[in-house]
Amino acid sequence: MATLPESAIWPPGIYQLEKDDVVEGGPGGIDNLQPQQLANRTVYLKALLDAASDRLGSQTLIGLAALVTAANQMIYSTGPGTFALNPLTAFIRGLLDDPDAATARGTLGLGSVATLASSTDGTMAANSDGNIPTEKAIRTYVSGVIAAQDVMVFKGVVSAAANPNYPAADCGHTYRISAAGKIGGAAGLNVEVGDILLCLTDGTATGTQAAVGANWNIIQANLDGALLTTALGVTVQAYNANLAAIAALASAADKLPYATGANTWSLTALTAFARTLLAAADAATALTTLGAAPAASPTLTGNIYQNGSVRGGVSAMAAADIDCSVGNYFTKTIAANTTFTFSNVPAGAYSMTLELTHTSGTITLPAAGVWSEGYTPIWSTGKTHLIMAVTKDGGGRWRYSALPNYTT
């Protein structure tokens, strides 16, 4: 059985069988016309699909097809079969359509300098308008000018805390002091923070003040010895009328300044003995210097003349002990049986009086004492008694007397 021949053509239409068509098979037969036209269309469409499949299978086309384009965009490759978009401005489009380099330089706004050649000549001896010096050439040229003209050039800071030597330098080199001390070694000059070292001679080597100090100047930030108004009354004494008056005195040996009035002073003699007295640390030392008896326990010799009364303090007793070093007049109140004692009795003669408020209880004095004619007073309670005691041997023996039974 034969098959219909197929051609890759696209018939404009499909034949419609009519009622009066005679049945006819075989090639070109009317009954095979419709299948022939459909078969041709099928082959045609298949050919189109095969061609499209070849194109769609290209990685490049796939990558391009994936882009989403927009106005003022250009395509560029980012890898095999991969692409991206980049802005393409009107300015760049204008640059891209320039026919030559001169036109492109005009578009970029470059003048004739863009065509000049670079020069590495650090002397710039050519003095040409057709060269542009490089950074290194400019640096070399400027450094040469600075060195030749001895221009002041700041080279850094120097800490003088450890008293260093001067640094090696050329004329015009300057250094700032960052920490106070000496420059030029331990025997160098004092410098303070902010002072400037200025080298005066090319090729100066590092060294001490004695060796290279003549090649340097020091510009002081704070002048040594200068009196600033801010220092008055702080680190420097402000004017004072008393000090001015003292300064006007003509001092001499063994003289003491003393005030004679407001802001007026004079001198008086100050002997070696007086200076010794002034150096006494306490009253006892001063009394020794004066050859006088101590105030606490004086020992007096010779005749003593008294003009006026002798007064003593009154000592209130907390306990029953009579401390003879405290004074000569004592007060005490008792409300129970009480035995009195003596302590710190001074050597030699001593006398005392005890004012005793007797509420209740018995009164017992030290057994080393005796009463006149052996008579012990009768003590009435609710009364006040005056008891006197005298010794001449530092308390070895006491003699008592009493004025008992005062009502107040």
What does the pLDDT read at residue 187? 95
What does the pLDDT read at residue 144? 78
Closest C-alpha to 376, from 365, 392, 360: 365
Q: Cβ distance 267 to 255 under 8 Å?
A: yes
What does the pLDDT read at residue 316? 94
Distances from the Cα of 281 to the Cαs of 222, 275, 284, in angstroms?
46, 12, 8
Average pLDDT of the chain? 87
| Percentage of the chain modeled with pLDDT above 90 | 48
Q: Give the whole-angstrom CA distance, residue 396 versus residue 345.
A: 9
What does the pLDDT read at residue 143? 79
Banded model confidence at residue 296, pLDDT cuts 50, 70, 90? low
Banded model confidence at residue 300, pLDDT cuts 50, 70, 90? low
Closest C-alpha to 224, from 270, 189, 249: 189
What does the pLDDT read at residue 131? 82
Q: Is residue 227 scored above 90 in pLDDT? A: no
Distances from the Cα of 260 to the Cαs of 190, 247, 270, in angstroms?
45, 15, 16
pTM above 0.85, yes or no: no
Q: Give the whole-angstrom CA distance, residue 145 versus residue 143.
A: 5
Point out the least confidently predicted range of 48-57, 59-68, 186-195, 365-374: 48-57
Closest C-alpha to 170, from 139, 198, 129, 193: 198
Mean pLDDT of 277-285: 88
Banded model confidence at residue 214, pLDDT cuts 50, 70, 90? very high
Q: What is the pLDDT of residues 118-176, one digit of tens each?
A: 888 888 888 887 788 889 988 888 877 777 777 888 999 999 999 999 999 999 999 99
Q: What are the strands, taking DSSP E only, across 246-382?
A: 255-261, 264-269, 314-316, 321-323, 329-335, 338-339, 341-343, 350-360, 363-364, 369-371
Banded model confidence at residue 47, pLDDT cuts 50, 70, 90? confident
Q: Give the whole-angstrom CA distance, residue 293 versus residue 121.
A: 104
What does the pLDDT read at residue 188? 95
Q: Is residue 32 scored above 80 in pLDDT? A: yes
Mean pLDDT of 367-389: 92
